[in-house]
Structure 1
């Protein structure tokens, strides 16, 4: 974290780096559960670098939030959207998430690791893979929901396998059996649900939904134009017949 730009807006990735430091501190006994919960809540509510800085200042992992990068005026190459371009290797942006009487989200542009573990206790979480990259062609989403719930959102073209166990709860199997695209990733949803549930839903991205909306609007405009054109030809033919009759 840098103190020279406290008013700059923090990103989801910045908040996630701070949350990872807090989880490590909890595991090492540096924070108790109450302190962890308070700081985690403050992390996900933070909007600027200045609000994030104090959260980890007394913990060993200084520099949890990197300074914002300089703005580049060079246009970056745009991904072609193919699965080959989204299976990127590496370790992933985040390997786990915890919600204790609260919630978490993993969405937008992030890299799904080979194994992602999430825990929701009296809370909930959303794991959205629609705009994500993947560390491998096959990834495992391990969900532990205790008196809580989670939602896994996958885009079209992804094969889904559900292997979770539910006790007085359950895992959603509706998206199983849908074939994936050639070269597309395989997502295995596993874990344990006790008095809770893990849902799996297939959705298109907002951008794709907007494109479909625009395509349908254009199709309606084209049909109206065709009807007007046909109607105009009909009126011309009617006028010609009246001319010859007279």
Structure 2
């Protein structure tokens, strides 16, 4: 038998096999969340499916778990996509690089409060150890559609309050503690979306609407922002 005519097998194994096991970073999750946000705004997915996929995004531990969530959507291939006119109209200019560091609220045997008129970033990390963190978004300024709050409480309390007319989603783990998110679905398709994730160990994490508080009309704000 002429061995030279036999098909040669490649000695190099397929490279993508290891990639799905790479641990997902915050930047990886934010990239997928941005694609889902655009898909919702363009009507490619509805609010219910967006919520299900966003929940899966922030529970994912590896890159392999993230990619299937957007495989049926026109994903961004480059490092950044310019905001669509609709996004720019509703929220004004976003962080161009999309890489602003997360805000941090920490309470260790103390209390920390963020409330009043303040500009909300893409991500906020809240941690309480024998302390209390209060995040009040009822008068906050949202400059992006999706806001993620990662809340962790150990023998402490993290409390988030939002306006009644935004979308609130999320979920976490309570270990001898309480992790509770009162979900909301806004009727306005341009309303902000706040996602709460994290855990409570012998503590409490709670996110719910503040009755009687509403975010001002987004379109009116945008016209004022743009000088119309």
Higher normalized contact order (CA 8 Å, seq sep 6+, divided by chain length): 2
Report which of the two has the higher share of strand: 2
Report which of the two has the higher share of helix: 1
